[in-house]
Amino acid sequence: MKALVKLGTPLVAATAAVGLLAGSASAASTTVRRDGPAGAPYDGQYQILNVGDLTFAGTGFTASCSSADLRGTLTSSGSGTLDSATATGCTSNLGAPTVSFRNLPYTDGVLAYGPTGDYDGTLTFTDPDLEIQASFGFISCVYGFDAQHTSLTFEVRNSDNPANSTGQLAGTMNGVSLGLKSGSFLCPTDVTANGTGKAMGKVAPGDATYGQKLHITA
C-alpha cells in the first residue's frame, strides 16, 4: 500500500480504512480467518468503512471526514491490494476539501498478528509510492512518506477484543501523520489523524455485499 498522509486534510480519512489493508509482504505467522479464531482461512475481496468521523488537527488546522470506502483483495496469509478508495463528507477550517488516492493500486504492507496491550496485531506500511492528494479550492496538497515519516503503523483489533466496539475486525490510527510532499505554502503541515475503520469480506465470491466477519490469528 502506498503511504498515508500527515494530512492536515481529510486525506487521512482514507488512511483509517487503509489501516486495515494488508499488503503483499505479509507476516508468515499471521492467518486471516472467517468469523473467529477457529474459522476457515479467508481469501477474497474486502471492504473497509470508517466508524465515526475521521478527525485531523494541527497548528491552526482542524478537519474531519464522515465517509471512507476502501476495497481490494486479501489472502489468508495477510497479503492484499487496495484497488479503489474514496473519502467524502470532508470539512475543514480551510473549506471543504476533495481527497484522492494517487498511484493505485497499493500492494505493499505487513499485517502481523501479535497481541500487545489492548490490540491483537499491527498493520505497517512502508511503500514510498503511496500518495494522497487534498485540494481546497485553488490549493492542492500531496502527502506521503519523507525522511521523518518512513512508515505508518495501525493498531488492529479482532471483533472479540473488549477494546473493539465495532463488531468487526477493526484498525485504529492514533496520532498518525505523514509528510507534505508537494503543494502550496498554505498547505497544512504537522497534522495528526485519528479514527477507526472496520473490515469485512464476502461470504461468497460473487456476492454484491460484504457480510463476512474477519479475524486474525497466528
Q: How many residues does the chain have?
A: 218
**Mind listing the pLDDT tens digit for each residue in 16-50?**
445 555 444 455 589 999 999 999 999 999 998 99
Tens-place pLDDT, residues 172-215: 988 888 889 999 888 888 888 888 999 999 999 999 999 999 99
> Backbone phi, then psi, for 56, in 5-degree steps?
-140, 145
> What gap in Å lies between CA 169 and CA 49, rounded to an integer?
11
DSSP state of 109: -
Q: Are 122 and 154 in contact (CB under 8 A)?
A: yes
The pTM of the full predicted model, rounded to 2 decimals, is 0.83
Strand order in 139-144's β-sheet? 98-102, 131-136, 139-144, 179-183
**pLDDT tens sequence across 126-166:** 777 878 888 888 888 888 888 888 887 889 999 999 999 99
